[in-house]
Every structure is written in C-alpha cells, then in structure tokens.
C-alpha cells in the first residue's frame, strides 16, 4: 500500500471509530438512564400485583384502548432478558479489552 493510500485507509478507520464512539456514548447514556425503570419493571413483572392486573385484563375489566404490553408475558420478559444480555455483553467486552 502506498503512503497516500495507507493514510487515507487509516483516516477512514479513525472516522469509523469516532462515529462508533459517539453512537455508543449516546446509547450508553440512554441505557444508564433507563436502569431505574428496568429495576422497577423487574420488581413489578411476575409480582402479586402484576398477576392481579393480568387477571383483571383477562376478565375484561380494563379499557379496550389501554396499552397493556406489560401484561403480556413475552413483552416484559423479552425486554428484561434483552437488558440483562446487553449488560453481560458490555461486561464481556470490557474484559476482552483489559
């Protein structure tokens, strides 16, 4: 690789890293801000109150237009599982870079 090509190549790599760093920083900020919500949802999901709310939904006692994804077993479970997986991925990535 010639000098100009090499410099252009590594400049492109630098640009990619700078962009990725900025995107990751934004994502981590959002994720960090969502952690209290994650803990609160985790506490609610599967709790006696959640079971009562689910039973009320199944009995038709909730408004039809009420958004109720939190009462679907898959919705909350998947969101909590994804969050835990992402945390584990971040820990693993940090270990790889040590």
pTM of the model: 0.76
Q: Which strand (E) or helix (H) includes residue 97? A: none
Question: How does pLDDT run across 57-85, given as a tens digit for each residue?
Answer: 999 999 999 999 999 989 999 999 999 99
Question: How does pLDDT run across 21-42, given as a tens digit for each residue?
Answer: 999 999 999 999 999 999 999 9
3-state per-residue secondary structure call for 22-44: HHHHHHHHHHHHHHHHHHHHHHH
């Amino acid at each position: 690789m010639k000098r100009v090509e090499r410099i252009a190549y590594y400049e492109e790599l630098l640009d990619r890293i700078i962009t990725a760093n900025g995107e990751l920083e934004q994502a981590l900020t959002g994720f960090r801000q969502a952690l209290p919500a994650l803990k609160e949802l985790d506490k609610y999901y599967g709790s006696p109150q959640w079971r009562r709310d689910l039973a009320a939904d199944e009995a038709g006692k909730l408004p039809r237009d009420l958004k109720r994804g939190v009462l679907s077993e898959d919705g909350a479970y998947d969101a909590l599982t994804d969050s835990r997986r992402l945390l584990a991925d971040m820990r693993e990535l940090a270990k790889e870079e040590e």
